[in-house]
Amino acid sequence: MGHGTVSTHASVLGRDGALPEGADKRRAVEEMFDRVAPGYDRMNRVISLGLDRRWRRRAVRALALPPGAHVLDVACGTGDLCDDLAAARYRATGIDFSAGMLTAARTDAPLVRGDAAALPFRVGGFDGVVSGFALRNFVDLAGVLGACARAVRAGGRFVALDAAVPSNPVMRAGNALWFRGAVPLLGRVLSRDAEAYRYLPKSTAYLPPPAELVSLLRDAGFTDVEHTMLTGGSVQLLAGTRA
């Protein structure tokens, strides 16, 4: 479905605004990302007030791998993070389940369409895995983290960025005003898809608390797990080393 058109697409939110679960979530999220792909990068710049580049560079630095390391970008979208990896002298490969996102990608990195919970790569084939703002979109987060652990060699690194809700009341109020108020309006005006940009802020509800995220990463087979809040608690960075 083309960017900039009004279409009768499947709803990503229930009639009462409820978030989808299970197979419904997978179908709705895939269709949504296919739909918004052509304007996704521009909307990211707007939504993040241009900070998305800084967050991605922070994630790449957290890998702390030697130049030439092979890094898999899980849920790579249009490939922005793959380009940041290349700029840091890593070899990047991307995977995403959205055909629309991969079609809209402009990166030179090799891209694969596939399921993050069943990565089609050999065990231990990568030095690192990254994921940018995708954890909340996975149906089986524990399964995805396990798949990432299998894809990384011993001593390799995992780093993920995602949205968060600030604990500070003032920051939390500002975050809600922007992401739940302004962002859907901007989505309606700039992408003609207000629903997708209502879903994206609400989808932080899928994420478990930080302590549980850390436990999930440890259970998947990572050690030295660190959880860091960025930008006043609006973004979180999760990192660990493959045991």
Q: Does 16 fall in a domain? A: no
Number of folded domains that form the chain? 1
Residue 30 lies in a domain: yes
- Asked, for residue 8, whether it belongs to a domain, the answer is no
Q: Which domain holds residue 234?
A: 22-242
**What CATH number is attached to the domain comprising 153?**
3.40.50.150
Whole-number average pLDDT of the chain: 92
Q: Is residue 121 domain-resident?
A: yes
The pLDDT score that the predictor gives to residue 148 is: 98
* Structural contact between residues 172 and 165, judged by C-beta atoms closer than 8 angstroms: yes
Taking only the tens place, the pLDDT of each residue in 71-105 is 999 999 999 999 999 999 999 999 999 999 999 99
Q: Report the predicted TM-score, pTM, of the whole model to 2 decimal places.
A: 0.91
Closest CA to 80 of 59, 55, 106, 42: 106
- In the predicted model, residues of the chain with pLDDT beneath 70 are 1-10, 15-16
- 51 found inside a domain: yes
Residue 4: the pLDDT is: 35
Residue 2 confidence (pLDDT)? 33
User: What phi and psi, each to the nearest 5 degrees, are found at residue 13?
Assistant: -120, 150
Are 243 and 219 in contact, with CB atoms under 8 Å apart? no
- Contact assessment for residue 94 and residue 79, using Cβ atoms and an 8 Å cutoff: yes
Residue-level pLDDT at 9: 52
Please report whether residue 99 resides in a domain: yes
Radius of gyration of the chain (CA): 17
CA atoms within 13 A on the CB side of 192: 11
